[in-house]
Structure 1
Amino acid sequence: MNRGCSMSRNMNTKPKKKKKSKWSVRRMIFWMIITAGTATVCVLVGYALIIFNGQKLLGKIDPSELVMGSPTAIYDEKGVFVANLNQLKSEPVKYTDIPPLMIDAVIATEDKRFNEHTGIDFLSIGRAVVKDIIHRSAVEGGSTITQQLAKNILFENPDKTLFRKATEASLAIALEEQFTKEEIITLYLNRINFGNRSYGIKVAAKRYFDKELKDLELWEMATLAAIPKSPKYYSPVLYPDNSKDRRAVVLKLMFDQGFITEAEKDKANAVIYKAPPQVATSENYLSFIDYTVEEALDKYNIEEDALKKGGYKIYTTMNTKAQKIMEESFKNDKMFQKSDEEQQFQGAMVIVDHKTGGLVAMVGGRDYEKQGLNRATLKQQPGSSFKPLAVYAPAIETGEYNPYSILEDKQNDYNGYKPRNYNNQYLGEVTMFDAVKKSMNQPAVWLLNEIKMARSLKFLKALDIPLEKNDENLAIALGGLTKGATPISMAQAYGSFANNGAMYTAHSILKITLNDEVIETFKADKPKQVMSKKTAWYTTLLLKGVIESGGTGTAAKMNRPVAGKTGSTQLTIKGYEKFTKDLWFVGYTPEWTAAVWMGFDKPDKNHYVTISSGSAAALFKDVMSKALDKVPVTNFVKPSGVPELTEPPKGIIDLTVTLDPALPNKANINWTPIADSAVSYRIYRKSTETEFEMLAEIKNNQAVSDLTIVPGQTYQYYVVTFLPDSNTESNNSNVVDLVVPVTDVSPSPTELIIPSPTDDGTIPVISESPNPEESTNPDETPSPTPTESSTPEPTPSLTPTESPLPTPTPVPVIEVQP
């Protein structure tokens, strides 16, 4: 019974639970209504605040600033004002001056609901929010044209944040309330950035097409409408392919929205853009300023519109004297090849202070004012100017080579790669000094093959010169790269030679301030030691020789020390390979390093280099000598701890070997001695049965005969000079062949002079003075008179032996006559 009563009570409680559940639902509905009402009130209050804030913001803005913002100023290395970024002022136009189709193109591309919304397009915002959530970051703006105008006016918070969006929205609503749609689209097109320092639709039409607005064609309007999304990336001048692709998108949107027909779309799509010849502006420093802007955008992440119109002050590394001189030189037609109507012969130059990495001056092209294409930042094939970076400096860095090392100069086949010297002449062997001075190709490729590709690639990587996978071959010894190198990267790399192997990163900005408060500053990190001081010094000695008589860079010689390297590349068009495509000179003084490039933007059968290969070096001299004219002349200084580079003796170039008419088994050996009493001469001989071995070592100008030749044999001879004090030999003389005919005549024993062997079994040095009365004591050999230079200048055709010379071995007998 108790159990049943208990069950009855439990059953009676169920309806009560249902009543409690109904009560909970009612409470939930109640609170939902309260919450919704509160949210509505908050939204209304928030909207009211947005409206109020927008009106307040708009009231603070000077009406004149609705066309253009306050300028950002540029200063030189001394803190002197040089220019404003928005020096190319917008030229405002009226709504009626803008072609209706131009307005249609912009609306179709940027904001197709422009004529329907009141400043904010909630559909676009919703789409943007969804994408932001998916990507977990702000990837899409969802901004209307009015919001873009608001952002363009405000520009103080460049990041895509909720606060900035709210501020933009408030100002956009205020703009919609105060201005008509026609006024808003006109304000937008009058102040928007169209790239290449062009603000406003009128300036852009003149810049890109040299036309008035009323004369623009459909494809031109679509091209302009494509630019604002990314003014640099969609510039028809800088990136014509990107521009054409984006133009196609604009035209499709116009077609989809009923503004144009399909036939009009296809016709406008087919046009190929060609930049018009325009009248240059009177502005200065454009290349340098534009590079500075790019550096601020890329390195300091400042938005372009904010940078150009945000009242910043940018302090740069520019030397205004050098910059003006460089620009004047580029305006001098005598320094360049004559151009035709199709293409302008171009050039670019950059100067770097290798002690800091600061850019001193830069010109990106002869008509840079018109195009804004900065060729100082474009990759070109560097030719032979790449040899010191890819071959010679890495070889010296191994410790196995120096400027006097002997390199092979023969025609070789490297698995199908057959480089040749420019004059098709080969010397067999040359010193590194001669190979660099005369820009010989075969020795460079041979040496790269000897030190191995991996060593060169590692060295280039340290110099911040990126290569492609396809570049890992011997062609890089001659500058044969897939994409090439920029003048800035070449100047930066060469600067490490001038700076004892230490390399700074090239830069143009020292600091950026806003409202007199420093917001960004260049962090001067320690330079990167990319090579030893010894390698840098020895390479400088090599490159100094290029400038001297007989070198390829004599046009760069001026009234102060210069080191550098020329470069040229061949046209790759079949049948035109003998013509030149690019000219280079990269060089340095103790103060600055500079790189010069010359050529055509689009080389073809009618556009290739015809001027002297020294023209780039001549431009280097013209700019550098004038820019440094008030700077005291200094010399390159050997770093402490670097060993002196001993200059080897001069070599023999006129060796002759002939059979004696009276004695068929006697060979007479003759040469012109050098004017150095400290040297001796070593005679080497090779027979049919033996390799080269030393016959003897003699001193002074003596008549020498080989009395041990055998009839029917063929011999080869060469002579080297030898300095006992430094234990170095010169380069080999010319090699002479001697064929001994078969004969029955035998030499008389009385004609043989047989020196007695020394205790160690070697043949002694035979030294006989032409005049016995002038004989001197060996211990009294005079020392060379010291000069002001601590290191002797390299001279052609000289080489030291890389290891201690072997002790002469017993050899056949020779006859020496005073």
Structure 2
Amino acid sequence: MAKKTAKKKQATTLDFSKYVRWFWMTFLGGVLAVILIFLLASWGVFGELPDHTQLENPSTHLATEIISSDAKTIGKFYLKDNRTPVDYSELPQHLVDALIATEDARYRDHSGIDAVGTLRAFFFLGKRGGASTISQQLARQLFVGVASKSTISRLTQKFKEWIIATRLERQYTKEEIIAMYFNIYDFGNNADGIRSASSIYFNKEPRDLSLKESAMLVGMFKNSSLYNPRRNSVGVKNRRNVVLGQMGKYNYITETIKDSLQSTELDIKYTPQSHRDGIATYFRAYLNKFMKDWIKNNPKQNGEKYNLYNDGLKIYTTIDSRMQKYAEAAVQKHMPRLQAEFDNQNTPKRNPTAPFLELDKSEIDKLLNDAMKRGERWRILKEKGKTDKEIKASFYKPTEMTVFKWKDGKASEVDTIMKPIDSMRYYKSFLHPGMMSMDPLTGHVKAWVGGMNYRHFQYDHVKQGKRQVGSTFKPFVYATAIDQLHLSPCDTLPRQQITIEANKFGNPEPWTTKNSDGRYDGSLTLKAALANSVNTITARLMDKVGPQPVIDMAKRLGVEEDILAVPSIALGTEILSVYEMVAAYSTFANKGVYNKPVMVTRIEDKNGTILYQFTPESRDVLSEEVSYVTVNLMQGVTESGSGQRLRHNWASKVPVYKEIITGYPYGFDNPIAGKTGTTQNQSDGWFMGMVPNLVTGVWVGAEDRAAHFKTITYGQGASMALPIWGMYMKSCYEDAELGISKGNFEKPNDLSIKVDCSKRDEDALIDSNPVDELKDVLDF
């Protein structure tokens, strides 16, 4: 009996040993299988894995960032990925907490693979949550991609994720991995990465996100296509509340805070980012060309070319985002008012050839036909092999389109059905602005407004567009005369007509000019003559110095366009850009030293290495004395000439005018130098305005010079362009941080030319009788 019992115990022991042996064999076999799978994956059997270099420099597309002088991002260049990376230090703690609580609660405790989560997912087949850590999700985003639905593909992907995740954990700190994860994710609506997402959904930098905003963005990690705030606000809110619940579960926030935030709305402030939206759109278009030219001539060290859209360059510009906004706001406020009056004067009843004046039907048809052939529609159809006849016929077929319109004083779009030829005529009726503002002391361009709406009007009226400058050219004539003849603003010349004989300066015919007011009696000081833009006195100065010295002066002042050496240039027949005019006037404000306009101060690569740094380009053009005297002359324009509507104090000298200017919106009482300009037939309106540390030029006109105001009432620079300058400067002065000067222009110590002729200026003010001029503008 005892032997039987012993044998039974021995058999039981042997049976148990067998199970133990099988257990260890299975366990070790599993371990070896996992090791083998890892080895096979690392050898590339399941597909290529990133090497050390790729892990160090993951291949992600980074947008080029455009940064203002006040350190604001004013735009980006990108094709597909609008991504600008941020450091971990720029992420608010509650954003990081929300991610860890929702996606990987044991993130701080594992090395890329969460063993607890993996076993849980294995035993419960994923019904109690997945096992992907933040590191694995980053590996999938950077290197693995989304697998197909087959089991083999999913297992292969998981093995690759595990390997890459552990490598990432060895390569980077926990903080760096979190920053990379936030930077790589596509949040939809061109929001690539957390910085773009913060800006597009909340108009904020990541560091400024609130707790509930952070929770919403983290909630989008589950599926940004499904949880899109623009299309599925209810689902996004529910998902955000799940994130807040997870933060409460892991004690990142209290129950009270969780409950209060879960009851709030999303409060989205959707701010789309595209090449045609945002501020400084025309400047960004100029910058795009600047960068392409720079890239062409500045390759990388390995000989490759930089990619403007993928390499994450940083472009530091001179544009001040605040001043840019003020400039754009001034344009947006003035242009619809001016356009409304233009439309009122150009109804078919008042003007059968609207919007054109002085053109017959054949001339209008030719103008529109020429415009057809220059347009995008013609180019596209031509590339498709259409004949000229077929293309032209297409312009007369009604087509669905979206057109620009001023509505209730704001830019808007209207969906309509219109013949393309009618849309062309419609767009020919619009007045357009061009405006540039520059610090004359440095050459830094602070604001650039090339038009009123880049989405519909992409032609830049700052540098690309050139128009007749009218009387804004006269200071170049006066400066030449002062430089050569040592004239004083107090010197007088007769107002009567003068004829410059044929061939005197190479002009083929005699040249006689007229004054717009028809007056030719008496004499005026040079200061009063420039203030009132008296043509005959400017012609007399031209007769004294000749056109070539004036052209030479203009060239030294920064005018790039070739100018024909004829006397009529004295009245502004030249076709120049706002860019050239602002640079030239800045020379006067900068004591005779020309600074080439600067738009880009430096360019850096994504690592902060400086690739380009601008070198100032300057030259002496005039003496301090001549520059100061010229500026003094132009101060008369705002004291007693067409620019005096910027003032409120001049009427104290002439009490009868007080009632007319009561409540006029500008009220500047500081020194301002400037010049208005109006071209023939009121086609172009200009105002150039200067204070000691800021020069701003404004042009307004239609695309074609045949579209213009019928009378000088609205068709002068003082009505078309000056109000934009006034509103812009008023905003700049209200922002004390900008430091825009209200002081005097600095007088040279050795000034020998007399500039104090106030008694004569006062007489000129009475003589010029600006009452009608002010009535015109105040009626507007």
- Normalized against structure 1, the TM-score is what? 0.45
- Normalized against structure 2, the TM-score is what? 0.47
Which of structures 1 and 2 has the bigger CA Rg? 1
Name the structure with the higher helix share. Answer: 2
